[in-house]
Chains A and B, each alone.
Chain A
Amino acid sequence: MEGRLKELTPMVLMGVFGIVLFLIIPSQIKQLSSEVFGPRFVPYLTAGVIVLSSVSSIIRSLTTKVKNEEVEVEENSRYGALKVILIIICIAFWIFLLPILGFILITLLATAAACLIFGDRSILRISLVSIIFTFGAYYLFAHVFQISLPSGLLF
């Protein structure tokens, strides 16, 4: 039962997404009523494929027996999920603070944080990796490729 539910849930969600897509297309894409192959044509086509594929998958799932496969649960899966969330927070901080702290400071902090999340516990190595990467990347992008990197509001 649990296996079937696990198989069905994403397909049902995809089907619902396809239906929502059908409903929002008129509000998101303007089209002259006379046009058949206008800007809405391909979005409607993709929504149709998503709904049909989901329905066919759901029917197949309901009509076939679920294999009794043992699901491998990693011991550290919760810990792993926590690390993924921490990486996402790290990226979000980089994005939010880049215009305020500037590229060098926020990249130093974000790289050090990522090293810690990935399990490095050596302060010396974390410092070295963060400093070398940040200044190396800054030199490469800002000076070699002439890409303007934010210097921040504080400096």
Chain B
Amino acid sequence: MGAIDRVFRSRRPSQERPLAAIIAGLWRNGEQGARYEAGDLATMFQDAAGTLPVYAPGSGQVDPPVGLWLDKRLPIGSELVLNGDNESSVAVAPEDVLIRLSKTRTADFAQSGAFSTKLTSTAGSGAHYWQLWKVPANKSVLVTGFIYIPAGAAAGQPIRIVDQSDGSVIVDVAPAASTDRWVSFRYYRAPKGTQWVLSIGNNISADWGTTSIYVDNLSIRELPGNHAYQTTTTSRPTLSARYNQLTGTESLATQSVPVVTTAYTLTTAGPGSVTLSGAASGTYTAGSRMVTCTAGALTLTVLGSVTQADLRPANDGVGLPPYQRVVDPNTYDTVFFPPYLRFDGVDDWLQTAPVDFSGTDKLFATAALRKLSDSAAGVVVELSSVSNTNNGSFALLAPAGPGDTFAVYMRGATALTTSIPSGAPSPASRVFTGVMDTSAAVGGQSRSRLNGAHFAYASQDSGGGNFGVYPFYIGRRGGTGLPFNGRLYALLIRSGATPDSLILKAERYLNQKARIY
């Protein structure tokens, strides 16, 4: 190991560990906010109910949708079920009211260990529930476990997680067909504004008879935080780590790819050559070079054997491997390529339940992003459905409108302030930050930062006042307009006064995740 290696290997861990710890501590005193990171696959699910974890992108399936993105500021709550594994006694849920069911501990079946909870219906028609928890207002909940339906049991009906309070949420956890095997279930629900009753059972008025089903390893936990979700399937962003725009890169074949007006890096190996036509021109042998493209289709005509071919915008990441192997659009290397959520600029967005910022007049929001279009305004994140008109709200936009801009919007008690950095034509990656304080002197209430450096203050007066209680909308204004066309690597939001030194650390942390500058 040489001297440089020793320095690199000895310094890197000591630099990264404190930074991650500092970020984890940003909200330790109860500060409101959010922490979303696309690099943490454990925080993302394909559906809004959190039943299907995302799979790794590039693994042979289409890049997965993200229907639930967990806010990872706060740890999961403590276990609320006693004896959920049934090994010491029958499972006891916080509420534990059974309706038309009887519950016993049994060794008939067990998902693990020797015992499970046996739920047996009494005869007659009507719904059949086990009430698990009266979920308090404004609490999110995660319920997991295993269920077993013997063939012929439960009148052939599915077993469901039910919101008995209004019946609005019904998730099949064990379809009727899934008999004679243990089926795992996992269900997340965002906070409701009122208390509601979480139940498991059969809400169809079909006689369940005297047959039984079995539940094991039941777990109920509060899942604190401002988790972002999307119920509409087609409006979910996708998780990706694709950078190389070519396919079949180990042995390149002639192909055309869409490109935009910017400089690209074309890297190839092997004895053959590539001739470019359409959006750029030239003939190249093995090596790496910059190619300036115009918007349109770029055709790469291959002569001979060209291997390890890579084409990506020259400004797409710093210090990434120069070659990303891409077998096909669904199969590609991801190691050392920062993952991101891709918002399509059409209808992709996420939202949270209302977030209570009413106790503060200060906050900052920082996002690691890449905007891919300058044709129309795009909302990266917005507190409330429209920050222009809702008092006590803010937004980060990329761009602010047609053009090469970003924007920090903040509205206090009476008026909107705007800080609009320009000079960043798409595609452009930035760690983009808005720092807001409605009680500061006019001219210093809102400011923007780019890549860890101050950019500009907004000159207007917001009218003071605290921030409000609104949902976050990520990727689209109020879920209806101004769709963001680009990538979001990570997003941090924190209430209260934050020193610039700490904001800089947050920006450095995001840059570690996205490799932007």
User: Are A and B subunits of one complex?
Assistant: no
**Chain B interface residues (CB < 8 Å from chain A):** none
**Chain A interface residues (CB < 8 Å from chain B):** none
